[in-house]
Structure formats: C-alpha cells, structure tokens
Structure 1
C-alpha cells in the first residue's frame, strides 16, 4: 500500500507540474540512442522463492540505455476478431470473496522482474500464475517535451504514438 501512496503522490506532483507549464507542446526532443522495441514472454509460469514471492525474470540481450523506459502489458484474452487484449501492469485484479491479486514489475538496464502477489494464497488460483503471456515495450523516455497525448495504460495508444511495428515482435 505504501508503494501506491508514493506513486499517487508522484503522479499528483507530475500533474501539477505539467498543468503549470507554459512551454510550447509541439517542441520535440530527439532521442538518437533508443528505438522502440516490442518483446514477448509467451506462455510462462511464475516461479516462487521466499525472497521474491511469485516472479518471472528475464534479461535483455543488450543493456538498455539510461533514456529507455520499460512498459509491460499482460495478455488477458482475445477480442472477437482474434487480436490479443493487453492490460498494462501494475494492475490489481479484484476477484471473488474480496481477494485481490496484484501484478507489478521493476527493471534495470539489464533485466526485468514481473511479480504476482495478493491478499490471499495466490497458489490457489493457478490460472493467474501459469501459462501467462506478457508484452514488454521499450520506449525512449525523452521522446518529446511532453507525452500528454499518450495513454501508457493503452497498448494500442503506445504503439501508435511511438510508430512501433508490433508485427515484428521478438521473444525475451
């Protein structure tokens, strides 16, 4: 809960800072060391250890630049046309009987860790731990003076904004 409170404070500060800005929103900053990449982690099961709980760990083939940002989306199903439905993480799933399951992640320039935790014994709901598919999107942090037009929680908005060809997905 402390993480979410801290994130909320940071988000509120960011909104206040952006709303007080009088710069021209059309000014773009070129990021010449980053190109957007889409990576998949397909049909993977979470591992468990006492230190990390339930987790998935992957290393990048090349270290990220300091100006790169990692976005992660979990496949939650398919649409009627067969296209995947992606949900951004961190995410809390509200299940029956007041149970809550959380997906979260962190990253360094060398790797990512995706976590699953809950307010109950999540091993009793293996459908949320086994055969999971995640999409990892690497984007430049400095792609523009402001990214106000990007909804980072919406996979399709991110793909469109950064002009990513997601038909060339690589496995991680």
Structure 2
C-alpha cells in the first residue's frame, strides 16, 4: 500500500511541476500602435474634493489607453543629500513626517487618472505636499510579460523599456 501511495505521489508531483503560464499570448488589434510612453504632469496643485474627503487632481488621457495597459505613476521629490537632485518615487507612497503621514495614490481607467493625496492632519498646514507637484506617468502595454521586474526604480524602468528623456512630453 505504501508503494502505491508513493507512486501516485510521484506521478502527481511530476504532472504538477510540468504546468506553467509562460505560453500566454496577447492579441493586439491590427489598427493599434503598441508602445511604451512616458509623460510628465505638472507642476500642479491639488484641490480639496469634499466628495471623497481628500485632495485630488483628475487628468484626462488623450488618446485613451487600451483596456489591458498598465500605468505606473512616480512623484518627483528631491534628495537633499545629493544637492537636491530630483528623485522619482513610485506611488502609492506614504511619507512619514514624525507622527504625521501623507499618502499619495492614484486610480485610473482608460480615459482618466485620478491623483489623490491624503494625510492624518490638515494638509493646508504643509502646502508643499499639495502645491507644485510633478508626476511622471509611464504607460506600459498590457502584453508586457515583465511581471517579476522591480517597477519601484524609475531609472531602471525607463532603461528597461528604452525610454529616452527627450521622448518625455511635459503636460500641465
């Protein structure tokens, strides 16, 4: 009986290890141009939206993105240790300032991006977190299979997807 159980276990193990998802095929419509894109939004000021009880900003995507596309959003900040060099931080992001917390986030659909910022205190006390904000939006085609890639490093993302600084559109 033990030998049969071991045999079934071995067969089950072999059959399960043979499965993977590496054979997925993405179909892109013939009339669609598929490319990576980066654009910069800002500097912009957030406005308080009482309907969602936080500061927000809506950006319209023109043209709209495809349903399977992925969006990454990075917020510009500075590195005081490197002569205030610009640093791009992936959002969602929580900034801790002592006991205070500031949360940057976003939602998107095919036609719009909703940027939000919220805090556990009144953000009007620190307007630097809601005024003159600059974001970089990276649109990646839905067919990309780089699921194991670390998207938190903006410089690595633009290098991986061959995006040049000169290609970045600055929008307000």
Q: Residues 34-79 of structure 1, C-alpha deviation per residue, up to 9 Å, x if partnerless?
A: 2111111121110112013201111011111012111000000268
**Cα contact 1:58–1:113 (8 A) shared by 2:** yes
Unmatched runs of 5 consecutive residues or more in structure 1:
1-19
**Stretches of 4+ moved more than 6 A in 1?**
none
Q: CA deviation at 1:165?
A: 2.0
2:36 is matched with which residue? 36
Aligned to 1:95, which of 87, 94, 97?
97
Q: Give the C-alpha shift of residue 115 in structure 1.
A: 0.3
Task: Say which SS state the counterpart of residue 167 (structure 2) adopts.
Answer: coil
Q: How does 1:61-72 map to 2 (within 5 A)?
A: 61-72=62-73
**Number of aligned residues:** 149
Give 1:141 shift: 2.7
Q: Quick check: 2:78–2:84 contact (8 Å CA) kept in 1?
A: no
Root-mean-square deviation (CA), in Å?
2.5
Looking at structure 1, the residues matched to 18 and 157 of structure 2 have their Cα atoms a distance apart, in angstroms, of 23
- Give the Cα separation in 1 of the matches to 2:100 and 2:18: 41
Structure-2 separation of matches of 1:166 and 1:141: 22
User: For residues 122 and 112 of structure 1, what CA distance do their matches in structure 2 show?
Assistant: 21
Contact 1:31/1:140 (<8 A) preserved: no
Q: Secondary structure at the match of 2:66?
A: coil
Runs of 5+ unmatched residues, structure 2: 1-16
- SS of alignment partner, residue 167 of structure 1: helix
TM-score normalised per structure 1 = 0.76
Distance 1:131 1:160, change over 3 A: same
Measured against aligned partners, the alpha-carbon deviations of 1:97-144 in whole angstroms (never above 9, x if no partner) come to x11000000001001011000111111110111111000110023212
Aligned residue number for residue 45 of structure 1: 45
1:1-172 alignment, distance < 5 Å: 23=20, 32=28, 33=32, 34-52=34-52, 53-77=54-78, 80=82, 84-96=86-98, 98-144=99-145, 146-148=146-148, 150-172=149-171
Deviation at 1:84, TM superposition (A): 2.7
More deviation, 153-162/102-111 = 153-162
Structure-2 change in CA distance of 1:21 and 1:65 (3 Å): farther
